């Protein structure tokens, strides 16, 4: 490059030296063993006018940029395609980038949308089309056949059993577990008139609402968060209930009219938690996910799932539970209810704050309620489509 001989701007272009098209050159493999490419592109720039700093040397600014690019994704992230599911997948992607430099390279992470049965069938209650696993089955298949490397789940959608060959290796920090009351007409549940329509597909919400407000009418109300709020605004129903965690993750809390106290509405098992599954034999993904795991969330969620497993609960069963850390101990609350809300059985327990302690507490609480409940209670649930 020639030095400027006067204060006038001299234009030097590199176009004659190399093609304007990107030039690719092979570089050393990434730590993961996947191939990487150095993408080189040339461009020209005019020399600046006289420098204002006394000691500045003005030279031509022909420049070259090199961007590391992974040829094949190191981690393929499987997710459902709803806005909330995608927000959770993007959160996972960003955490992986932040914690592992090799995953911050262009193309190292790929988000793969998998459509599940629960996404396809929206005109029927979940209980009528198969209960649990409706939002996870297709992701499990994609994980096992290698189309994806990890699967990001809303933990409340995940059955208590996992397909052989998969493991829930990680849970991200839990969001607010409570439910939000949403209405464009009324300020609270107490303001709803007799016969008001409540849009919900959740039997847990339905049974707890009818227990406290027996004059309300609950109607099936499915779809993603955005479509439910749109239907609400169109007057299809008088109100609906949604997990505040989802509204927080999508920056939509302005729609929440009121957050419900847990004495009014105990949350679903694992509500507000994100779990990430991978293949049990995939050491690389296990390493990545171990770094993201939030153990406090995992202990609480697995306690609640042990309670659910002890009751053999499904989407056809109104079950609610919440476990939290208080000091050095675990505090648990759980309930089961009849579909009409007339019968609600509750339990609470205190246990050791540890993974094993949480599972023991949850299992014991589930067994206790199963023992307490009269045979007719379970028979009624079966008659109404229960799965005990």
Which residues are part of the catalytic machinery?
A: 157
Cβ(159)–Cβ(133) below 8 Å: yes
Question: In the block, which residue shows the tokens 């507000």?
Answer: 272
Any alpha helices (H) in the chain, and if so which ranges? 83-99, 117-120, 137-144, 203-212, 225-233, 244-249, 283-292, 295-310, 355-372, 375-383
Locate 266 and state its tokens. Answer: 């105990």
> Could you give the CA distance from residue 349 to residue 368 in angstroms, rounded to a whole number?
11
> Could you give the CA distance from residue 137 to residue 153 in angstroms, rounded to a whole number?
11
Contacts of 382 (CB under 8 A, 6+ apart): 388
Which residue, among 343, 344, 340, 47, has the nearest Cα to 215 in the 3D structure? 340
By the 10 Å C-beta count (0-12 exposed, 13-18 middle, 19+ buried), 214 is classed as exposed
Residue 374, SS3 per DSSP: coil
DSSP annotation of 139 reads: H
Cβ(255)–Cβ(247) below 8 Å: yes
Which residue, among 266, 118, 126, 136, has the nearest Cα to 204 in the 3D structure? 266
Q: Long-range contacts: 376-382, Cβ < 8 Å, 24+?
A: 377/338, 377/343, 377/345, 380/338, 380/343, 381/316, 381/317, 381/338, 381/339
Locate 76 and state its tokens. Answer: 């393929």
- Beta sheet of 150-154, edge-to-edge order: 109-113, 75-79, 150-154, 274-279, 166-171
Per DSSP, the residues of 237-295 read SSEEEEEHHHHHHTT-GGG-SEEPPTTT-PPPTTTT-EEEEEETT-HHHHHHHHHH--H
Cα distances from 208 to residues 255, 335, 340, 372, in angstroms, run 22, 10, 9, 19
Contacts of 353 (CB under 8 A, 6+ apart): 299, 325, 328, 329, 330
């Amino acid at each position: 490059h020639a030095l400027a001989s006067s204060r006038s701007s001299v234009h030097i272009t590199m176009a004659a030296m190399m093609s304007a098209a990107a030039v690719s050159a092979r570089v050393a493999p990434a730590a993961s063993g996947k191939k990487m490419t150095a993408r080189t592109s040339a461009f020209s720039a005019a020399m600046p006018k006289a420098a204002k700093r006394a000691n500045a040397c003005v030279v031509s600014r022909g420049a070259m940029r090199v961007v590391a690019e992974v040829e094949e994704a190191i981690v393929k992230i499987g997710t459902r395609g709803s806005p909330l599911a995608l927000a959770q997948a993007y959160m996972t992607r960003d955490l992986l980038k932040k914690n592992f430099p090799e995953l911050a390279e262009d193309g190292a992470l790929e988000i793969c949308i998998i459509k599940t049965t629960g996404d396809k069938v929206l005109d029927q209650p979940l209980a009528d089309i198969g209960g649990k696993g409706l939002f996870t089955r297709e992701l499990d298949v994609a994980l096992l056949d290698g189309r994806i490397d990890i699967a990001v789940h809303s933990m409340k959608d995940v059955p208590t059993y996992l397909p052989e060959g998969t493991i829930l290796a990680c849970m991200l920090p839990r969001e607010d577990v409570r439910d939000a009351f949403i209405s464009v007409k009324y300020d609270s549940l107490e303001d709803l008139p007799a016969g008001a329509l409540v849009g919900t597909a959740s039997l847990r919400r339905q049974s707890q609402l009818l227990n406290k407000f027996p004059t309300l009418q609950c109607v099936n109300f499915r779809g993603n968060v955005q479509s439910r709020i749109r239907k609400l605004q169109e007057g299809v129903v008088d109100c609906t209930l949604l997990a505040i965690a989802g509204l927080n993750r999508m920056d939509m809390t302005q729609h929440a009219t009121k957050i419900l106290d847990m004495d009014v509405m105990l949350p679903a098992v694992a509500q507000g938690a994100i779990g990430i599954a991978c293949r049990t034999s995939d050491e690389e993904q296990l390493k990545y996910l171990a770094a993201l795991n939030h153990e406090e969330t995992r202990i609480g969620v697995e306690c609640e799932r042990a309670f659910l497993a002890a009751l053999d609960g499904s989407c056809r069963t109104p079950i609610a539970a919440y476990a939290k850390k208080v000091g050095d101990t675990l505090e648990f609350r759980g309930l089961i209810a009849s579909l009409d809300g007339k019968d609600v059985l509750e339990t609470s327990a205190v246990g050791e704050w540890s993974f094993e302690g949480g599972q023991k507490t949850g299992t014991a609480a589930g067994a206790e309620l199963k023992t307490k409940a009269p045979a007719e209670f379970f028979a009624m649930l079966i008659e109404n489509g229960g799965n005990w």
